Structure 1
Amino acid sequence: MLENIGLIVASLTAIYGVNEWRRELKGRREYELAEEVLTLVYDCRERLRAIRSPFSHTGEGSTRKADANETPEQTELLNRAYVVFERYEQHREVFAHLFALRYRFMAVFGQESAEPLENFRKSLNDVFVSANMLPTYWLRQGRVQMEKEEFERQLKEMHEHESVFWGTLSEKDHFNDKVEGLVSEIESVCAKIIRPQPFWQKCCNFVTRRNNG
């Protein structure tokens, strides 16, 4: 009987040890993933600001392959819009690494938690969409006769794309505010793993919720 009891105790101890090891391994993996994603998000936020910077240097955008039928004016405007693609190439690997992690992030923390990451990727794509659209507006502006209503629509749409295409220093940058909001959402998810609440604070929050409920 003593041998059987000893065997049962040893088995339970082994099972507890394995389960504890699994929980510890799972927690460590979650921590490492949250830390890596949050670090990359901070990094990509700064890189996105650099991509959208309104300041450029001579020759920037000239790596674009020009069409043989382009006029010098068309080439200048198309090159100006190509700047964001040229800059992105310098940061492509970092963005690709972040966006590749979003599926793993989704699997570990849930689809809802990964939505800000997906929206961050879409925001970057919005910059590219505006870069593709703006040359058309620039080439029409002041060169094509338009009725008042059409002209106002052209001007409004052009300014909307420009507000996404590059950041502003003198005016409120709504696109950047949107990105900052997404970063805060990702930070909120990751902070729960990286900087968990102390036990006493969890108890206080529980009591508060019970009292409010």
Structure 2
Amino acid sequence: MSICLTLTDINWSLTRDVVAIIGTFGALVIAALGLSTWNRQLRGASEYDTAKRAILLTYKVQQEIQNVRSPMMFLNKDEVEAGRRLEEEQRIYDERMRALYEKWTDLQAVRLEAKVIWGERASDCFDQLQKVIGNLRSAIWMHFWLKGAYAGPGAEVDTTPARRIENNKIVYYESETDEFSIKVTSAVENVEKFFKRKTKIGKET
């Protein structure tokens, strides 16, 4: 028994429908693959941006920390001559700390965003930097306490040279290799270590 089909025996209407269905299905598959790739690229770009901002803001916080510690201070002459030198120094340190905490607040927002993306490790890498800032704030408070700024009438303040020297190691910037600067650098490196790998889109998530 032989089967022989001629062109007139083919149901061209049905064939066109089948071809159209196959074509449509293929287009949907290609579109789905393209959308998946686009989503991955979009996610990667978003994570890259978060990582980049985390590093940049960390550098800005580092800069503000060292600005706070700068021994250079321009006091208002009128305030000094009026006998308010200590108050003038406090004003300057308040302004410096306010600038530092503004940058730290910005960094905290990125820290939270990073935690959402990468989990607790992303947040934890800022812990050392937060501790450094807290130590600096405490040292500045102690700096003025040792000068009698917060002592009430009749209060005795321990102003031994050794105590001042230890506190001044935190308050005053000397170089990038002074004891406190090394701690600042180490805290910054913790952040760099985590996020610099995240700036390589497609290589690590």
TM-score, normalised by the number of residues in structure 1: 0.67
Q: Partners in 2 of 1:106 and 1:120 — Cα distance? A: 16
Q: Partners in 2 of 1:145 and 1:32 — Cα distance? A: 53
Matched, 1:137 2:146: yes
- Quote the offset at 1:37 in angstroms: 2.0
Q: Which amino acid aligns with 2:113?
A: R
Counterpart mapping for 1:61-210 below 5 A: 76-77=85-86, 79-90=88-99, 92-139=101-148, 156-169=162-175, 172-195=177-200
Q: Partners in 2 of 1:109 and 1:53 — Cα distance? A: 36
Structure 2 CA distance for partners of 1:145 and 1:114, relative to 1, 3 Å: closer
TM-score, normalised by the number of residues in structure 2: 0.69
Deviations 1:99-144, CA, capped at 9 Å, x for gaps: 221101221232212223343233223222222223223339xx98
Q: Is the 8 A contact 1:52 1:167 kept in 2?
A: yes
Q: Partners in 2 of 1:103 and 1:45 — Cα distance? A: 19
Structure 2 CA distance for partners of 1:3 and 1:196, relative to 1, 3 Å: closer
Q: Which amino acid aligns with 1:59?
A: N
- Quote the offset at 1:52 in angstroms: 0.8
SS at match of 1:101: helix
RMSD: 3.4
Ranges in structure 2 where 5+ consecutive residues have no aligned partner: 1-17
Matched, 1:25 2:30: no
Q: Which residue matches 1:53?
A: 70
Ranges in structure 1 where 5+ consecutive residues have no aligned partner: 63-71, 199-213
- Quote the offset at 1:79 in angstroms: 4.4
Count of residues in correspondence between the two structures: 178
